[in-house]
Amino acid sequence: MAWVVVLALGAVAIWLGYVGAQALSAAGNLSGAVAAARDHSAGPVLIGFVAFIFLAERAWPAVPRPWLARAHVVDAAYFVLFAVVVLPLLTLVQTGLAEEAERHAGFLLVSRLPLVPQVAVVGAILVAVDATNWAAHVANHRWLGLWRLHALHHSQVDMSVLTTFRTHPLVHASYLPALFPVLILGASGTVPGAALIAYGCLVTLPHANLRWTFGPFGRIVVSPAYHRLHHVVAPVDARRTVNFGFVLVCWDQMFRLAAFPTVGVAPATGIPGAPVPLEQAASLAATPRVVLAQLVQPFHLDAATDTSS
């Protein structure tokens, strides 16, 4: 059944990508839409932010790692894959979803709200996007088919800010519902590119190899120490997996899934039993084959990750 879910998600992504490509080509905006998406999700500002945090990890690491640790190289390769291949395809899929929503569920789209400042609408959209991302993240852990795709992200035992991009390309389709707040409220104020870039930077920060807790502010915004507890090998308590938040902590608090870090040794990360092939366990020459095995694993009839969710 998990294998069927992976194939179904792939089929939906292919269909939406086709619809999106048709719409953007008809509007003569295919290259422009991809360029705009790259600026928001993998542009110079985000690259500069990731580079700054990577340098901070060298100065104040939660767990000391060499500059060119195998994990860093592989996760950087996943970032290149995301920027060069996944992001353009994701742009098509997102456009296709918008087209289908407008065509078949136009009643969901809210017209411009009178007397509502744009800043309030933008704030509401970003909060709703974060809530939807949180719900999709929980689903990635609760549903076996989605976990097959999400397990790659959790397999990293040497976390860094680059681990943000260690994701299976198909898993992004599970986060498409986060587009609905933008579609529903978009008529009352589109989200500025700067706000999207800032949100993207805040999403990458929690994966950093840093002990930062943000102090009292860490009760509001997800910190690296807080999110590390989400990636631990050994569960922090009987709830097993905690701290699903992307940027805001409130969603975890509302559903009693928040566990706040304490001062001490940074806990080990990864999946018990290492069901996902790890680059650290292979020779340097075999690393490309290991990465390919990581990407292919979700499509196996019986995947080792099926017993690790």
Domain extent for 106: 2-307
pLDDT the model gives residue 307: 79
Instruction: Give the predicted TM-score (pTM) of the model.
Output: 0.93
**pLDDT score for 104:** 82
Chain segment 174-184, per-residue pLDDT in tens: 999 998 888 88
Q: How far is CA 37 from CA 42, 81, 193, 249, in A?
A: 8, 15, 9, 26
Residues of the chain with pLDDT under 50: none
Check residue 187 and give its pLDDT. Answer: 67
- φ/ψ of 176, rounded to 5, equals -60, -30
- Count how many domains the chain has: 1
Task: Render pLDDT for 114-130 as a digit per residue (tens, 0 to 9).
Answer: 767 888 888 998 999 99
Closest listed residue to residue 79, CA positions, set 131, 48, 42: 42
Beta bridge partners of 210: 61
